[in-house]
């Protein structure tokens, strides 16, 4: 069982036996949850109709039925396939997020960004698009305070806690085990409700089953390393998340976990991407590089922009 096999998906390497059992169990759980949910919905529909007909809770029995209908309404449906069924808490984000004031950046006599102004407010989902080499990463770096503009100012709010998934491959210590690497960042994270989620559970969410958590990082595939790196960024519990072309080296399964994470994420997301599907799911406005330092805006989805 310690041998690593390649599954059909190509990019996904894992312990074969365990992973198949894991998938099977997950499918079983989902089927069961779906059945239960259908039942709940039917019952709820019936009880709500009964309530609407003006049922009066005169007898104790009727009172109990009203209570039950109310309780049914309160119950949550099951989480959809593979999604995170908890909202991970993040550090409180104040009104001040990021402000760019008249920012210009020039490299080798080429104006990448000229007199750029931007105000990022809480809850925003921003996509940055444009051709290769036009300055997208440079803009992201300057908004994150990683590089100083040639002129102008970037102001980052006091409460801002940045998580940055970079485009270039970061160094990872290959002699560390997967679980050690994540625990070095955080042993636990808390949900929005204050419940504790362990590093092991988060790894499972990010498609590292328990046996795989004991693997050395050097044995992981390129895609798995990127997935692990992504999780590490999220374990920092950022409230402003920078993503530089995440769809380039993450497999589709990881992307759907990331999209689910972002959906419940209360903070700001700023992402560079060329991926129409990802952008449509994640962002609601765009910063568009037109070339020669000209940057325009679009309020709406990427598909609408196209
Ligand atoms: N520190 C630097 N010094 C000099 N030139 C730089 C520096 N950083 C970036 N550049 C140049 O600036 C241009 C824009 O780079 P940047 O990485 O921001 O583009 P990008 O839009 O992110 O490209 P890609 O789509 O390939 O990721 C490139 O021509 C790059 O070579
Ligand atoms: Mg780039």
pLDDT by residue (tens digit) across 154-209?
999 999 999 999 998 778 999 999 999 999 999 999 887 888 999 999 999 999 99
Contact status, residue 165 vs residue 206, Cβ threshold 8 Å: no
Separation of alpha carbons 176 and 10, rounded Å: 24
Phi, psi of 56 (to 5 degrees): -110, 130
Query: Do residues 19 and 7 make contact, with C-beta atoms less than 8 angstroms apart?
Result: yes
Ligand 1 centroid to Cα of residue 27, in Å, is: 44
Q: What is the pLDDT of residues 86-135, one digit of tens each?
A: 667 677 888 899 999 999 999 999 999 999 999 999 999 999 999 999 99
48 close to 40: Cβ distance less than 8 angstroms: no
**Ligand 2 mean position, distance from CA 150 (Å):** 19
Rounded average pLDDT over 52-75: 71
Cβ neighbours of 221 (radius 10 Å): 16
Q: Identify the residue whose C-alpha is closest to ligand 1 atom 25.
A: 132
CA–CA separation, 149 and 117 (whole Å): 12
- As assigned by CATH, the class of the 98-305 domain is alpha beta
Q: What is the 3-state secondary structure (H, E, C) of 165-231?
A: ECCCCCCCCCCCEHHHHHHHHCCEEEECCCCEEEHHHHHHHCCCCHHHHCCEHHHCCHHHHHHHHHH
Q: For ligand 1, say whether the CB of 291 is within 6 Å of any of its atoms.
A: no
Ligand 1 pocket test: which of 136, 138, 146, 291 has the largest number of ligand atoms within 8 Å of its C-beta? 138
| 133 Cβ inside 6 Å of ligand 1 | yes
Q: Is 136 in the pocket of ligand 1 (CB under 6 A)?
A: yes
**pLDDT tens figures, 240-279:** 999 999 999 898 889 988 998 998 898 999 999 999 999 9
Domain residue spans in the chain?
A: 5-74, 98-305
Structure tokens at 96: 């001040």
Residue having the nearest C-alpha atom to atom 5 of ligand 1:
107
Instruction: At 128, list the tokens.
Output: 């940055």
pLDDT of residue 198: 94
Q: Establish whether residue 11 lines the binding site of ligand 1, counting it when its CB lies within 6 angstroms of any ligand atom.
A: no
């Amino acid at each position: 069982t310690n041998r690593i096999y390649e599954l059909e998906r190509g990019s996904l390497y894992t312990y074969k036996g365990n992973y198949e059992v894991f998938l099977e169990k997950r499918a079983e759980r989902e089927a069961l949850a779906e059945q239960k949910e259908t039942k709940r919905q039917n019952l709820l529909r019936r009880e709500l109709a009964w309530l609407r007909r003006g049922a009066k809770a005169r007898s104790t029995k009727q009172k109990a039925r009203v209570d039950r209908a109310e309780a049914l309404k309160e119950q949550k449906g099951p989480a959809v396939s593979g999604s995170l069924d908890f909202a991970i808490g993040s550090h409180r984000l104040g009104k001040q997020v990021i402000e760019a004031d008249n920012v210009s950046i020039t490299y080798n006599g080429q104006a990448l960004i000229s007199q750029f102004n931007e105000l990022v407010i809480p809850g925003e989902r921003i996509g940055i698009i444009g051709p290769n080499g036009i300055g997208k990463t440079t803009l992201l770096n300057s908004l994150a305070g990683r590089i100083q503009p040639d002129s102008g100012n970037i102001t980052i709010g006091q409460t801002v806690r940045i998580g940055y998934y970079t485009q270039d491959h970061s160094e990872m210590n290959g002699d560390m085990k997967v679980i050690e690497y994540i625990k070095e960042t955080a042993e636990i994270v808390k949900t929005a409700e204050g419940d504790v989620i362990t590093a092991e559970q988060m790894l499972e969410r990010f498609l590292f089953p328990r046996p795989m958590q004991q693997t050395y990082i050097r044995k992981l595939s390129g895609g798995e390393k990127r997935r692990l790196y992504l999780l590490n960024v999220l374990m920092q519990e950022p409230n402003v998340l920078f993503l530089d072309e995440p769809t380039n080296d993450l497999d589709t399964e990881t992307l759907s976990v990331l999209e689910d994470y972002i959906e419940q994420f209360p903070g700001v997301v700023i992402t560079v991407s060329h991926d129409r599907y990802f952008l449509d799911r994640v962002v609601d406005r765009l910063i568009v590089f037109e070339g020669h330092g000209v940057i325009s805006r679009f309020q709406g989805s990427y598909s609408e922009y196209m």
